[in-house]
């Protein structure tokens, strides 16, 4: 398998250190990004896509480490819902990430990987970096910002902090605030990573190993939250894996066990454990109301964008009720908003999967 340094990634350096919500500055920031389609002469056809926790900039092209198709290839491309014959689509790896943007695995000012010396970042720091990238690329007002899950958090944060910079804000399967239960699941993942002796307080890069077992457990725990209980029952139930009867042992007797182990192991080939720590921390810190004096409506008071919010009925990670809080805040400032709860069996992951109603709603909104 290729490693990151083998890849010829599209990268852009930011011209100045990035101010962070913590009060620190991040020097030497580079953002790795992909674009699809062509920027119109007037610059008005650009859509900024934000990726989710474990996503990256490879939206509609093969992920070079795994060779797998982009994470939203069903949605983005010529003639598709986000039509690259019409729109210029940009997606950048978030800061803190591990697909080429500056993160804990990048070489820091002391000439070695940052590790846990990397500053703790926030969702709004991630967005600030991407707005700086837009500035570098000469892109002013966007046709739309679009994102699901953590990508939706970035879309809402963008709307709040750059209120005149996008005509449309499309946020899917997301929340304006991480709940206690959301934080709890992330904390389990972080503790699993930190419990792995190969983590070495984050300084594992030169050891040739890393906290792969811990990261794998973290991914397994998170993965459960991405699927619905009913979806798991339908997909796996209590079916056995390649065997006729239970083995009375600790092998993966059940398909669900085998599936989760695979999800955990394959994740470690493409994701950096420290990035997982930093990005989950950013999500846990996310509370858009708190950032705006405790009143969520105030976050959107200056926005001149149109909003479209989409939740899924089986998503128990970021629920319809979470999304309704955003709707109510937008209503309170008379912002134009359409909101729909879609029915889909896949839980939180519905935004990535084949949900025709999602396509129709998105296409209509982005016209």
Nearer to a second copy, 50 or 199 (CB): 199
d(Cα 151, Cα 49) in Å, to the nearest integer?
7
149 belongs to the catalytic site: yes
d(Cα 170, Cα 362) in Å, to the nearest integer?
8
Give the shortest CB-348-to-a second copy separation in angstroms: 13
Residue in 105, 149, 216, 228 annotated catalytic: 149
Please classify residue 35 by burial: count the beta carbons closer than 10 Å to its beta carbon, then call 0-12 exposed, 13-18 middle and 19+ buried: middle
Nearer to a second copy, 290 or 313 (CB): 290
Return the SS3 of 170.
Answer: strand
Give the shortest CB-49-to-a second copy separation in angstroms: 27
d(Cα 164, Cα 43) in Å, to the nearest integer?
15
Cβ neighbours of residue 322 closer than 8 Å, sequence gap 6 or more: 174, 175, 176, 177, 179, 311
Give the shortest CB-1-to-a second copy separation in angstroms: 22
Report the residue count for the chain: 367
Please state whether beta strands 144-148 and 88-92 pair in parallel, antiparallel, or not at all (unpaired): unpaired
Binding site for a second copy (CB under 8 A): 21-22, 24, 116, 119-120, 177-181, 183-185, 187-188, 190-192, 194-197, 213-214, 216-217, 220-221, 224, 229, 232-233, 235-238, 246, 248-250, 252, 254, 256-257, 260-261, 264, 277, 281, 284-285, 287, 290, 316
Residue in 125, 253, 315, 349 annotated catalytic: 315
62 belongs to the catalytic site: no
**What are 85's strand-pairing partners?**
none
Give the shortest CB-244-to-a second copy separation in angstroms: 13
292 belongs to the catalytic site: no
Give the shortest CB-100-to-a second copy separation in angstroms: 24
Nearer to a second copy, 303 or 319 (CB): 319
Return the SS3 of 176.
Answer: coil
Query: CA dist 73 to 168, 260, 317, Å?
Result: 21, 24, 24
Residues serving a catalytic function are 149, 315, 348
């Amino acid at each position: 398998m290729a490693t990151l340094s083998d890849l010829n990634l599209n990268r852009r350096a930011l011209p100045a250190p990035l101010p962070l919500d913590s009060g620190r500055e991040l020097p030497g920031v580079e953002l790795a990004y992909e674009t699809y389609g062509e920027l119109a002469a007037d610059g008005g056809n650009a859509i900024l896509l934000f990726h989710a926790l474990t996503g990256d900039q490879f939206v509609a092209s093969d992920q070079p480490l795994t060779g797998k198709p982009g994470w939203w290839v069903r949605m983005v491309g010529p003639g598709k819902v986000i039509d690259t014959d019409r729109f210029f689509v940009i997606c950048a790896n978030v800061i803190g990430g591990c697909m080429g943007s500056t993160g804990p695995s990048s070489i820091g000012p002391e000439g070695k990987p940052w590790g846990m010396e990397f500053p703790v970042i926030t969702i709004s720091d991630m967005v600030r970096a991407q707005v700086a990238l837009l500035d570098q690329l000469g892109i002013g007002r966007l046709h739309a910002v679009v994102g699901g899950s953590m990508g939706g958090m970035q879309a809402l944060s963008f709307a709040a902090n750059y209120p005149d910079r996008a005509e449309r804000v499309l946020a899917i399967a997301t929340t304006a605030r991480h709940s206690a239960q959301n934080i709890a699941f992330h904390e389990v993942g972080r503790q699993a990573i930190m419990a792995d002796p190969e983590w070495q307080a984050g300084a594992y890069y030169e050891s040739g190993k890393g906290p792969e077992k811990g990261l794998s457990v973290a991914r397994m725990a998170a993965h459960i939250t991405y699927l619905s209980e009913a979806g798991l029952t339908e997909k796996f139930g209590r079916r056995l894996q390649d065997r006729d009867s239970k083995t009375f042992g600790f092998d993966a007797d059940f398909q669900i066990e085998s599936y989760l182990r695979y999800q955990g192991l394959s994740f470690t080939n493409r994701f950096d454990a420290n990035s997982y720590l930093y990005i989950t921390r950013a999500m846990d810190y996310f509370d858009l109301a708190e950032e705006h004096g405790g009143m969520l409506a105030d976050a959107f008071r200056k926005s001149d964008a149109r909003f479209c919010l989409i939740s899924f009925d089986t998503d128990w990670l970021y629920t319809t009720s979470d999304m309704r809080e955003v709707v109510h805040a937008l209503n309170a400032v008379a912002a134009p908003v359409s909101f729909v709860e879609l029915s889909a069996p896949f839980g939180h992951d519905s935004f990535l999967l084949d949900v025709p109603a999602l396509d129709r709603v998105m296409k209509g909104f982005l016209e």
